[in-house]
Structure 1
Amino acid sequence: MSRVAAIDCGTNSIRLLIADITNGNFKEVVREMEIVRLGQGVDQNKSFHPDAIARTLNAVEKFSAQISSKGVEKVRFCATSATRDATNRNIFTDGVKEILGIEVEVIPGEEEAELSFIGATKELSQNEGPFLVVDIGGGSTEFVYGGEKVSAAKSVNIGCVRMSERHLNTQPPSMAQIAQAIVDIDIAIAEAAKVVPISEAKSLIAVAGTATTVAAAALNLESYDRYLIHLARVPAQSVHKVAGMFQSMSKEEISALGYMHPGRVDVITAGALVLSRIMAATGASEFIASESDILDGIAWSLTK
């Protein structure tokens, strides 16, 4: 048996997964998430805010205690969009090394996409492929296509935090803000489509917090239930309806939703809009919501 710890540090959240992996069998031991908004202001300033670094390192301290107490053998820490963009990333990565004693891997968007693909498709039958896995993060969105393995991948800068900071800075947003965001999003999707055959997949799988929160809304859940959300099939028309619902709500109304994580309140409108535009561009009739994503892919990578 190999007990591994995977840490995924994105633009909006940092997550820990401790798992036992034996002969292809996967058993989750710990799964935790903290919304730290590491990417606060990165799109505009190209550097980490000191408060964002402090919040994130505080979460890393908590994760370190968990890792130490659970007898973990291998640890991998992957940082994505915000860390790729920040010119002062060494302040953050040095802080992590001091706490955990390991190097932070600042992975390129294409590797991020491949890890998401591994995590998202591991439980699905190859009969449901080829797959298009879409990972809407805080800073970027990854598109990855393949069957048993990845054949095409592209990362574009249309994450929910980035789109919120760039366009949707009031809640509810104005029609002009939404229109500007749609132009930006559609250009990025078209860029991805030059590399990835986004309309040829048999199954569209969407991973990460935006997609699972949209699924929770479409399922009318009273509270967030990852077991009901995982592998739920959400029709395209439900995605468009949910995106429109968030666009019409105040921040207080969104915050009052039982399934809404407090750290997603101010970015879910942008995230849902990105997912809605992806559904329109791909022509997919539904998406499969997956709670297994890049974090699971990082864990699996530690068994190689």
Structure 2
Amino acid sequence: MTDASAPFVPDSPPAQAAAGFARADHCGPAFAALDLGTNNCRLLVAAPTAGGFRVVDSFSRIVRLGEGLATSNRLADAAMDRAATALRACAEKLTRRPVRRLEAVATEACRRAANGQAFLARITAETGLRLRIISAREEAELAMESCAPLLEPQDRRALLFDIGGGSTEIAWIRVPPEGGAPELIGYVSLPLGVVTLAERVHQDCFTERGFCEVVAEVAEHLAEFDRIHRIGQEIRAGGVRLMGTSGTVTTLAGVAMALPRYRRPLVDGKTLDCEAADLALGDLFALGREGLAAHPCVGPDRVEFVLPGCAVYAAIRRVWPTPRLTVADRGLREGMLTRMMRAERAGPRRRPLR
């Protein structure tokens, strides 16, 4: 486990990597968060500011670590090699830009894979990076942490969804009436993400039948979560904000806003009428593979994953119809950075007097 209270110095790294990492007394003011997901490897380096933080460096690469995992229960050699290449690039960035603290996590693919821990041990040996596998609950908590600033005073509850590569996380959140920290009161992790759904040979989301089958399957899972927490009843009472953080919802927002190319500052925090998002979904479905590859908000690397994500979104809309959707282009990395910086400001904990 990476110690979030100490500057990042790799454990037994190769000599060429070790030479570049700063020691504690030379570390700069920046913090780093690394997220190895089922589909992507992402690094965010940021410096604290009065109102949050300022991004000073970033890295993102599609690695498809979970490719074939649903059938084999193991990470494939080619997938691990792709992820290792991306993680070496992250380690090199951290060599060039010293940080005060690093938090590095792995999610669903490494949680599920029989060889997940062995792969992470390989990464430590090759790069010095030590990634810890986080639980689905912590994943939901970190997403909540990053999206909390988007809540507004009139919100009583929030329903936050994150459509990932290997799973979909749903967080049911209580918002204190007087501006306190939001509280996670329920969560569910569905083993249905854009990669696992895209690999199904019997359900092609590019066909109407396959798309509708996925929507029905996901909706069945969500209905059970709804029965436990009575979310639909709360939505009808008012004061519930639907929030989405994933490539699926940011793509829907970009299409709904008719952006000539995707621009994060225009999308992050944007509240859409759900009808506009639904129309954007219809537009994406009508494009087909070639049209999606050419679309400036999609591109060839994400063609296979957009419609499976849209099917999950459509299921969420079916079970929990709301008039508006708040789009968040933020997630685990931002949540980790927020936690680290808050801990830094709080300082070391004092031992209780005996």
1:189 to 217, 222, 226: 222
1:103 alignment partner, SS class: coil
> Counterparts of 1:230 and 1:196 in 2: how far apart (Å)?
28
> Counterparts of 1:262 and 1:194 in 2: how far apart (Å)?
39
CA contact (8 A) 2:146 2:334 kept: yes
1:27-176 alignment, distance < 5 Å: 27-146=54-173, 147=175, 148-166=182-200, 170=204, 173-176=206-209
1:142 alignment partner, SS class: strand
> Counterparts of 2:325 and 2:164 in 1: how far apart (Å)?
17
1:270 and 2:270 are equivalent in the alignment:
no
1:240 to 269, 278, 282: 278
Question: TM-score, normalising length from structure 2?
Answer: 0.79
**Residues 158, 167 of structure 1: alpha-carbon distance in 2 compared, 3 angstrom cutoff:** farther
**Residues 13, 274 of structure 1: alpha-carbon distance in 2 compared, 3 angstrom cutoff:** same
CA contact (8 A) 1:214 1:239 kept: yes
1:217 to 255, 258, 282: 255
2:296 alignment partner, SS class: coil
CA contact (8 A) 2:150 2:269 kept: no
**Residues 167, 245 of structure 1: alpha-carbon distance in 2 compared, 3 angstrom cutoff:** farther
1:208 and 2:235 are equivalent in the alignment:
no
RMSD between aligned residues: 2.1
1:292 and 2:319 are equivalent in the alignment:
no
> Counterparts of 1:160 and 1:297 in 2: how far apart (Å)?
22
Map Cα deviations across residues 125-164 of structure 1 (whole Å, 9 max, x no partner): 3444422111111111111122222222221122111122
Map Cα deviations across residues 7-49 of structure 1 (whole Å, 9 max, x no partner): 1111111111111135663222123211111111111211111
> Counterparts of 1:196 and 1:32 in 2: how far apart (Å)?
38
CA contact (8 A) 1:154 1:195 kept: no
Aligned to 1:177: 210
> Counterparts of 2:220 and 2:70 in 1: how far apart (Å)?
17
Q: Using the TM superposition, name which of 37-46 and 118-127 deviates more.
A: 118-127
CA contact (8 A) 1:34 1:59 kept: yes
**Residues 260, 136 of structure 1: alpha-carbon distance in 2 compared, 3 angstrom cutoff:** same
CA contact (8 A) 1:12 1:36 kept: yes
CA-CA distance at 1:197 after TM superposition: 4.8
2:31 alignment partner, SS class: strand
1:131 alignment partner, SS class: strand
Map Cα deviations across residues 233-272 of structure 1 (whole Å, 9 max, x no partner): 2222223222233333321110000121432111101101
> Counterparts of 1:138 and 1:100 in 2: how far apart (Å)?
24
One-letter code of the match for 1:45? Answer: S
CA-CA distance at 1:216 after TM superposition: 0.7
One-letter code of the match for 2:330? Answer: S
Aligned to 1:256: 294
Percent identity between the two aligned chains: 26
Q: Using the TM superposition, name which of 262-271 and 23-32 deviates more.
A: 23-32
Q: Using the TM superposition, name which of 240-249 and 81-90 deviates more.
A: 240-249
One-letter code of the match for 1:246? Answer: L
CA contact (8 A) 1:153 1:195 kept: no
CA contact (8 A) 1:10 1:80 kept: yes
CA-CA distance at 1:108 after TM superposition: 1.2
CA contact (8 A) 2:46 2:56 kept: yes
> Counterparts of 2:123 and 2:231 in 1: how far apart (Å)?
36
1:250 alignment partner, SS class: helix
2:60 alignment partner, SS class: strand
Map Cα deviations across residues 62-100 of structure 1 (whole Å, 9 max, x no partner): 111111212112111111111111111134201321244
**Alignment: residue pair count:** 303
> Counterparts of 2:82 and 2:230 in 1: how far apart (Å)?
38
One-letter code of the match for 2:148? Answer: T
> Counterparts of 1:129 and 1:216 in 2: how far apart (Å)?
28
Higher relative contact order (CA 8 A, sep 6+): 1
Aligned to 1:226: 264
2:265 alignment partner, SS class: helix
Question: TM-score, normalising length from structure 1?
Answer: 0.92
